[in-house]
Amino acid sequence: MKEFQNKVAVITGAASGIGRALAERSVQEGMKVVLADIQDEALTETAAILQHKGGTVLCVKTDVSRAEEMEKLAQETLRAFGGVHLLFNNAGVGAGGTIWESTLDEWEWVLGVNLWGVIHGLRLFVPIMMAQDTGSHIVNSASLAGLLPYHPSAPYQVTKQGIVALSEQLYYSLKQWKAPINVSVLCPGAVRTGIMDGMQQTPPEWQSNTAVLEAPSQTKPDYAAALASMRRATAMGMSPKLVAEHVFAAIRDERFYILTHPEFNTAVHARMQSVLLGQNPPDLSRVIGYCLK
């Protein structure tokens, strides 16, 4: 896509962080915007900001982990605007620690939002885009955790690696079908978002026994240090607005991999090289704490 004026963007996780920045940039580009998020107040606030800037906005409260709510999002988008040209599968949460310390609820919640949310978005919106037979683009939000061998949250890392694989599979499938749809996967490092406070977004029935990146720190001191490092990194991270600039540049260039933090390219290269050489995963512990979008 080179031109965005009067086209339609659908953004999940749109009420804050990278999602809100993508929505603001979409309005700036003259697009009609569909905002999807589970947070009512933040969704309303974001819509008001965009409307004040002259944006045409539709809000759809959506739990991306639930197929029926994503189906409603697609239906509402078509009812309001008749199509979709730019899809941002952006909603994401972080929870859990090691594979065995993470609770079943944490695994189900993080996989549900981060991975199933993307799957639902693709399953529903790709057929719409294909039927339109006009140029469109999909951006799936992963993380540097999707390219590196370790992250303190096992559920988070598994979902982000899954999103990278899912995006690559989608890219090649669309090429085989000769569909006029381009794909990108966003793999940022630390960004100033509220992902570390994602506990506030958990379903009510899980809040009593779900501790976002906290419980394991009580049994493993190294984990507490990693958690503190991630909090510092996000507090000092890249602005969501700058991430949105990287994303729109990549869309215009039809670029698949969007790596916004080149200072970590050496670490990504070390991981890839270890795969090619059949070596054990490299020790990248010094940089891992900064790989949370």
Q: Which residues belong to the active site?
A: 156
The Cα–Cα gap between 96 and 118 comes to: 20
The Cα–Cα gap between 221 and 259 comes to: 31
Dihedral class, residue 62 (left if φ above 0, else alpha if ψ from -120 to 50, else beta):
beta
Task: Name every residue whose Cβ is closer than 8 Å to that of residue 168 and which is 6 or more positions away in sequence.
Answer: 185, 256
The residues facing 141 across adjacent strands are 186
Contact (Cβ atoms closer than 8 angstroms) between residue 240 and residue 21? yes
Cα–Cα distances (Å) from 18 to 13, 22, 30, in that order, read: 8, 6, 18
